[in-house]
C-alpha cells in the first residue's frame, strides 16, 4: 500500500488485545446461545422471562456485532526500527492484502462516523452493560441451589459465569489499552527530546 493512503496510519497492531477481543467474542457467542435458549424456554412454558436474562441477551448481541469492528482499529502492522545512518527511530509499515481490505472497510466505517472515539464509547457502554448484567444475575442466582434444579439451573449458573468472564476479559483489554497509550506517549516524548538534542 502506498504512503498516500493514510487510513492505516491510525491503527496499531496490539496482538494481546486482539486475542482478548477474540475471547470476548467467543464468550459473547456462547452467552447469546444460552440466553436465547433460556428466553425461548421460559416464554414457551410460562409466557414470561427474567429481565436480566434479556439484558444479557442484548449485550451478547451487541458484543458479537461490535467486536469485529475493533479489529479494524487494531489491525495496523507497525514496528520501530533504528536507521544505522542517522541513528533516529523510524516507523516502518508492513502491509498485506488483508490490510488493503481493512483500509477500504475502515474508510467506509469512518464515513458512517464509526471512528475511534465512537467505538471507544461503545466499548465503554458494553463494558458497563456486562458489569450490570453480571452483578444483577449474581444477585438473582448466587448459588447453584438458588438457580433451580436440572438443565435450566445449570444454564443460569453458566450464564452468570460467562457474564463475569466477558466483563473480566474486557476489563483486561481496556487496561492493556491504557498501558499502550501511556507507552506511546512516553515513546513520543523520548523521540522529541532525542530530536531536540540532535538539532
- What residue spans define the domains of the chain? 16-69+113-198
Give the mean model confidence (pLDDT) for residues 136-158: 88
Range in 52-61, 74-83, 92-101, 170-179 the model is least confident about: 74-83
- What is the per-residue DSSP string for 135-180? HHHHHH--SHHHH-SHHHHHHHHHHHHHHHHHHHHHHHHHHHHHHH
Asked if 135 contacts 166 with a C-beta cutoff of 8 angstroms, the reply is: no
Encode pLDDT of 95-112 as tens digits: 455 555 656 665 665 555
Range in 13-17, 36-40, 48-52, 129-133 the model is least confident about: 13-17
For residue 96, the model assigns a pLDDT of 52
Give the mean model confidence (pLDDT) for residues 148-161: 90
Q: What is the DSSP letter of 124?
A: H
Residue 91 parent element (H or E):
strand 89-93
pLDDT at 169 over 60: yes
- Residue 98 CA to residue 75 CA, distance in Å, equals 9
pLDDT at 82 over 50: no
- pLDDT, mean over the chain: 77
Give the mean model confidence (pLDDT) for residues 51-70: 92
Cα separations (Å) of 68 from 26, 133, 147?
A: 12, 22, 33
pLDDT at 55 over 90: yes
Question: What does residue 48 show for φ and ψ, rounded to 5 degrees?
Answer: -145, 165
Angle between helices 15-46 and 150-198 (to 10 degrees): 160
Residues 6+ apart with CB under 8 A from 82: 88, 89, 90
Torsion-angle region of residue 10: left (phi > 0), alpha (psi -120 to 50) or beta?
alpha
pLDDT band at 185 (very low <50, low <70, confident <90, very high): confident
Radius of gyration over alpha carbons of the chain, in Å? 22
Q: Which grid coordinates belong to 102? A: 481493512
Amino acid at each position: 500500500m502506498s504512503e498516500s493512503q493514510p487510513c492505516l496510519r491510525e491503527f496499531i497492531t496490539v496482538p494481546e488485545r486482539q486475542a482478548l477481543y477474540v475471547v470476548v467474542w467467543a464468550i459473547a457467542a456462547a452467552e447469546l446461545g444460552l440466553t436465547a435458549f433460556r428466553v425461548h424456554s421460559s416464554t414457551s412454558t410460562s409466557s414470561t422471562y427474567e429481565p436480566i436474562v434479556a439484558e444479557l441477551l442484548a449485550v451478547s448481541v451487541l458484543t458479537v456485532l461490535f467486536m469485529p469492528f475493533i479489529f479494524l482499529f487494531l489491525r495496523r502492522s507497525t514496528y520501530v526500527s533504528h536507521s544505522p545512518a542517522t541513528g533516529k527511530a523510524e516507523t516502518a509499515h508492513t502491509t498485506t492484502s488483508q490490510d488493503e481490505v481493512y483500509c477500504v472497510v475502515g474508510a467506509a466505517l469512518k464515513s458512517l462516523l464509526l471512528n475511534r472515539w465512537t467505538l471507544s464509547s461503545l466499548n465503554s457502554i458494553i463494558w458497563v452493560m456486562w458489569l450490570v448484567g453480571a452483578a444483577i444475575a449474581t444477585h438473582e442466582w448466587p448459588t447453584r441451589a438458588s438457580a433451580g434444579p436440572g438443565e435450566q439451573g445449570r444454564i443460569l449458573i453458566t450464564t452468570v459465569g460467562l457474564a463475569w468472564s466477558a466483563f473480566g476479559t474486557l476489563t483486561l483489554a481496556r487496561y492493556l489499552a491504557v498501558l499502550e497509550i501511556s507507552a506511546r506517549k512516553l515513546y513520543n516524548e523520548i523521540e522529541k527530546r532525542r530530536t531536540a538534542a540532535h538539532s
